[in-house]
């Protein structure tokens, strides 16, 4: 298996865990866990493949992805009560999934010879849209948009680092590892140490 499918498998598995945890917060049944877990798992990569006009969406070409996501969601259904804090687990699973989904997006776009701007966008979109769909459908405040945290910024910086590395002819596996490391470091730093960018502050809106 090549490196990019391996990243896709890892992202699918970990995002499915995060989706199932959100399903547990919404007190769904086991099929609801599988539904939200799968939506989260394949949402970002599906958008990437549709935007890039790939011949087949990755999980339509290889149904093993959805089977894996379903297994992960069922596992969470039976074990989530063992977790100390489901919300903390959700955020860390989501951070790990982000750190493999962004390089998965960058890797696919590079393999199709996309423009560097497009490569960066595909990294961000693959990383962010699965979790965004999960949160919109389940009516949670999107993690992507939480004030005072690095999320899109982590995805963007990682995707930019990986794309830049590829431009200066670093070997692909190294570029994707760099992409993953930068994404995870920024997201984890934000969760652990409160790293953030200044947010927009204004006079209170008058409407």
Interface residues with a second copy (CB under 8 A)?
23-36, 38, 46, 50-53, 55-57, 60, 63, 66-67, 77, 80-81, 85-87, 114-115, 117-118, 121, 124, 128, 132, 136-139, 141-142, 144-145, 147, 152-153, 156, 196-203, 205-207
37 vs 174 by CB, closer to a second copy: 37
In the complex, what is the shortest distance from the CB of residue 202 to a second copy, in angstroms, rounded to a whole number? 5
Beta-carbon-side half-sphere exposure of residue 39 (alpha carbons within 13 Å)? 19
Nearer to a second copy, 145 or 171 (CB): 145
Q: How far is the CB of 87 from a second copy (least distance, A)?
A: 5
CA distance 201 to 30: 42
Return d(Cα 149, Cα 62) in angstroms, integer: 35
Cα(31)–Cα(77) distance, rounded to whole angstroms?
10
Nearer to a second copy, 192 or 201 (CB): 201
3 versus 137: smaller Cβ distance to a second copy: 137
Q: How far is the CB of 174 from a second copy (least distance, A)?
A: 25
Say how many residues make up the chain: 207
Residue with tokens 């004030």: 147
Cβ neighbours of residue 143 closer than 8 Å, sequence gap 6 or more: 91, 94, 131, 135, 149, 151
In angstroms, the CA 109 to CA 29 distance is 37
CB of 11 to a second copy, least distance (A): 18
């Amino acid at each position: 298996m090549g490196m990019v499918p391996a990243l896709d498998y890892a992202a699918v598995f970990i995002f499915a865990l995060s989706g199932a945890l959100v399903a547990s917060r919404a007190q769904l049944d086991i099929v609801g866990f599988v539904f939200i877990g799968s939506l989260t798992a394949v949402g970002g990569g599906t958008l990437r493949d549709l935007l890039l006009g790939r011949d087949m969406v990755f999980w339509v070409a290889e149904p093993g992805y959805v089977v894996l996501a379903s297994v992960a969601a069922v596992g969470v259904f039976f074990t989530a009560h063992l977790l100390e804090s489901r919300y903390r687990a959700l955020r860390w699973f989501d951070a790990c999934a982000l750190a493999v989904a962004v390089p998965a997006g960058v890797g696919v776009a590079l393999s199709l010879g996309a423009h560097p701007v497009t490569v960066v966008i595909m990294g961000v979109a693959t990383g962010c849209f699965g979790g965004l769909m999960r949160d919109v459908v389940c009516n949670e405040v999107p993690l992507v948009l939480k004030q005072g945290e690095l999320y899109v910024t982590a995805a963007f910086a990682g995707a930019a680092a990986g794309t830049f590395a590829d431009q200066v002819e670093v070997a692909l596996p190294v570029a994707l590892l760099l992409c993953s490391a930068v994404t995870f470091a920024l997201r984890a730093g934000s969760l652990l140490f409160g790293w953030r960018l200044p947010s927009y502050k204004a006079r209170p809106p008058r409407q």
